[in-house]
Structure 1
């Protein structure tokens, strides 16, 4: 594998595509660590430390966002709105004749469907962003955290709008980065970004499993 990777770097065209893809991945990971305006980052980190391994459904979604969801960063929504929009459009293609006709038109029709997917992604991002802000404000995002209700600094409509717009813009930026990788990099851009998000949480998940195994082992030892 390393030999094939080294050979790829020796080819100018492949090297350019690999470096471009790696650059997009770096930008993507950087955006997953930049908090949005209006968030008390210190309280978020406190709650993250207290709730490790106990996030439930939010923890699962957090894995697909590369840890950005619970940290409420500009890429907090990750690629989930795009994936959801793609699934919805695929299902609607079966029941809506107009979409089915577009699908049969080839490249031109597929471009139209892709455009509809983008619009639906933005709409879903606004909806999910609003839900995330409301959940964080109510303290339900970290129920066991004593400062869980103090994550959002300001409850004003303006601050809420800025937070939602920032996360929506982050989702739009992720779509653009994915399309850039598809056009100028290697492989399917959105699939690569999804893999990066999941892989980013893999080391911490393994460490959490190891720590829980130690605790359970100590419990069994003390019981015997």
Structure 2
């Protein structure tokens, strides 16, 4: 018998179309009910409950009960990163489920990926951080430099609190639409939260798209420039 991780089991859990749709819906980072996930997958509530039980047993979901309602979210960042990687592979291979259109253009420009900024604007921000020396790689890990920490503090982020948490501060996440990196981890989530708090952008309803206001986009461009000085 072969030994090692059973990737076939995980792949089978993700590979079912209904379960794939539900997992993709949870990439916004928002917890959803079984009824909401059933609607995303286009299946009945009873069928959705069966699928959710399998995903929960497989360690891909984290259920949360609040009052009479039960919510589901992705189990952790690792699950989100695998899903984003699969999206990149599917897009690169030409396996797209919808025609290119205005909605797709919005997703390519800016979208949420498990509560951090992805799309062209997320890539631009990551490139800016790398060019300005705010991030560096060491032993395949992504690290926040002293100058990067100072920038984040000026941007209104409590870096010390983020460092004290168990979740990784900085992670490199491959963007499925451009197959280039954007910033994940607790810092990536905190930056998107600040962008929303400042009123620069909002999350589109029933979509992963992040919509920037014209002033917000100008402020973003000014803050996350590629200048090295």
TM-score, normalised with respect to structure 1: 0.24
TM-score, normalised with respect to structure 2: 0.24
Higher relative contact order (CA 8 A, sep 6+): 1
